[in-house]
Amino acid sequence: MKNILITGGAGFIGSHVVRLFVSKYPECRIVNLDKLTYAGNLLNLKDIEDRPNYGFVKGDIADGPFVFALFEKHAFDAVVHLAAESHVDRSIANPMEFVHANVNGTVNLLNAARKHWEGSFDKTRFFHVSTDEVYGSLGADGLFTETSPYDPRSPYSASKAASDHFVRAYFHTYGLPVIISNCSNNYGPNQFPEKLIPLFIHNIIQQKPLPVYGKGENVRDWLYVEDHAHAIDLILREGGVGQTYNIGGHNEWKNIDLIRLLCKIMDKKLGRPEGTSVNLVSYVRDRAGHDQRYAIDASKLQQELGWKPSLVFEEGLERTVDWYLGNKDWLEQVITREYLNYYREQYENR
Ligand code: NAD
Ligand code: TYD
């Protein structure tokens, strides 16, 4: 593959995928298409922006004529599709934005790929990056496998499930060469401080309350973002057309246990007495429809393609904390008026 379109490359996971591809494949041209919503930030790619094999295009994946013209211009032979609205709490407040980006945007990209790749489906790939949240919520036992039934329960996961269904429909109906991955919760550098880990790191720095939803007993399976990027690279190169791969960290944490560990690491790094940050924990009203537990069985990916996570969580979390403490200017730059308004609406009177 020579011309690779990565959508959502200015976001959290996308920026790590773009950096990996630009560095690893100097012979390929990598085009990053991103709308630069509140979550997209070109600072994430400052270190590689001048590389000769990298280009950035600002635009909306749901804009039909624009996306068709981009395919015309660049003759992409692979798409790695990450652009999406990605935060569950925002989806509860504004579901329609999620339909626009995640459903209309994905179908629009599929249409462009289908038109431009006609006659060359054997030399092209459409990689759709999705989430384990499409499978719904687990009880105390069990893991999501690639054959778990879809049971999305938030507007975010419903929009991602719809996009997955369209991607599969284009494979079965038109033969479009697609691959899908469903990954568990990511963490690491450059994650926008609306998600649990960076939000709490930011609040601990500021000594602001840590708003734990419900009793803090929900469980998530955490994967370091660079491990996800490497899995995407591997699956794009070696995954089977029409196949789905689950990606996960074998790393389940109850929210409150994760928060206690984070508080301990932060106290140490900030030179504060142990116990300072955990005192900031404030139990607040639960998220509507809060999924209890996500956990991934990634054995297909491990057995077929030899992938496994490279980092233990304690090490990844410490690396993540170090990155945020060393990049306070990044945090300050994303704390815009939009963020402050969002924060007020989301957390005041909760
Ligand atoms: P993010 O919110 O950090 O980044 C999303 C990017 O998409 C942003 O740069 C944004 O500007 C861009 N974007 C949004 N709407 C767009 C549009 N209409 N046109 C063009 N660009 C648009 O998200 P993320 O956490 O990096 O997630 C990336 C992908 O991975 C998403 O598809 C998400 O569903 C999936 N995923 C995320 C996680 C996770 O834990 N974050 C886990 C599994 C899967
Ligand atoms: P989040 O990072 O939003 O990811 P997702 O909901 O997609 O898994 O949330 C992770 C967990 O942390 C989830 O159980 C909700 C919880 N949470 C809080 O308790 N407080 C918060 O302020 C946020 C953002 C999340």
Whether residue 276 sits in one domain with residue 144: no
pTM, two decimals, is: 0.98
Is residue 120 domain-shared with residue 213, that is, in the same domain? no
* Domain span holding position 335: 196-219+252-287+312-348
d(CA 131, CA 151): 12
State how beta strands 210-213 and 281-284 pair.
parallel
- Tell me the CATH number at 124: 3.40.50.720
Which sign, positive or negative, has the C-alpha torsion 161, 99, 20, 262?
negative
Residues 280 and 227 in one domain: no
Query: Is 239 within a domain?
Result: yes
**pLDDT tens figures, 191-224:** 999 999 999 999 999 999 999 999 999 999 999 9
Task: Give the Å distance between the CA of 83 and the centre of ligand 1.
Answer: 5
pLDDT score recorded for residue 67: 98
Single-letter code of the amino acid located at 102: N
- Name all residues whose Cβ lies below 6 A of ligand 1: 7-8, 10-14, 34-37, 39-40, 60-62, 82-86, 101, 105, 129-131, 160, 183, 185-186, 192
Beta bridge partners of 56: 32
Q: Measuring from atom 10 of ligand 1, which residue has the nearest CA?
A: 40
Q: Which atom of ligand 2 is nearest to the CA of 287?
A: 15
* Residue pLDDT, tens place only, 234-279: 999 999 999 999 999 999 999 999 999 999 999 999 999 999 999 9
- Please report the pLDDT score of residue 1 as a whole number: 74
Q: How far is the CA of 321 from the centre of ligand 2 (A)?
A: 17
